[in-house]
């Protein structure tokens, strides 16, 4: 909304907005892209606060790197670590967390056919965010008829870490190039 409201100020085209993030940023990217028009997620205004900028929060393309799409399995993995990021985000213990709270922060809850095209990139050796998260998102997006592309990088850990710095650089550049190529195609940018 802010970018669209200030498009002329920043010299951008507010009709072609793409979002991109990795890990926690990938979760937020997916949540942003999949919740277009979901008013229940608008934060309540503090007394005296200005209303959000007018305009749509909808985006036209999204790229996620090793993001979280369903917090239920992530909470199960961290049941013995109450200070873990998933537990801190949801603010409840895994053994008594209301299903609605978990669903509210899980992007898969909001998938529908109006979602923008997605590119998912994930290392298949990721021990922080299992690659199953991206497989689930890909499957659910396809089932909803949302255009989705996925790249699974063999042997890559979280943040595309590989056995050597050269390998890490190589797979990271592959992900960066795929990301920009995707945005160029989907947003019509040359």
Strand 61-65, strand 18-22: pairing: parallel
Q: Which of 135, 158, 159, 170 is catalytic?
A: 158
For residue 94, the 8-state DSSP code is: G
Active-site annotation holds for 122: no
Q: Which of 23, 27, 70, 115 is catalytic?
A: 23
- DSSP structure string for 166-183: HHHHHHHHHHHHHHHHHH
How far, rounded to the nearest angstrom, does the alpha carbon of residue 61 sit from its chain's CA centroid?
A: 11
Q: Which of 27, 70, 122, 126 is catalytic?
A: 126
Give the position of tokens 């002329």: 8
Active-site annotation holds for 23: yes
Active-site annotation holds for 114: no
For residue 138, the 8-state DSSP code is: H
List the catalytic residues: 23, 126, 158
């Amino acid at each position: 909304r802010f970018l669209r409201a200030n498009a002329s100020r920043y010299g951008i085209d507010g009709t072609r907005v793409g979002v991109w993030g990795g890990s926690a940023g990938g979760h937020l990217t997916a949540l942003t892209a999949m919740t277009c028009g979901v008013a229940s997620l608008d934060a309540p205004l503090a007394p005296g606060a200005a209303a959000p900028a007018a305009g749509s929060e909808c985006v036209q393309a999204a790229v996620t790197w090793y993001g979280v799409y369903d917090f239920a399995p992530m909470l199960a993995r961290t049941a013995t670590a109450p200070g873990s990021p998933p537990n801190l985000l949801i603010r409840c213990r895994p053994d008594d967390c209301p299903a609605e709270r978990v669903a509210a922060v899980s992007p898969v809850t909001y998938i529908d056919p109006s979602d923008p095209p997605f590119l998912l990139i994930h290392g298949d050796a990721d021990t922080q965010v299992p690659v199953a998260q991206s497989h689930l998102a890909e499957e659910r997006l396809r089932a909803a008829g949302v255009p989705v592309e996925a790249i699974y990088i063999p042997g890559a850990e979280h943040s595309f870490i590989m056995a050597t710095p050269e390998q890490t650089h190589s797979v990271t550049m592959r992900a960066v190039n795929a990301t920009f190529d995707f945005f160029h195609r989907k947003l019509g940018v040359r």
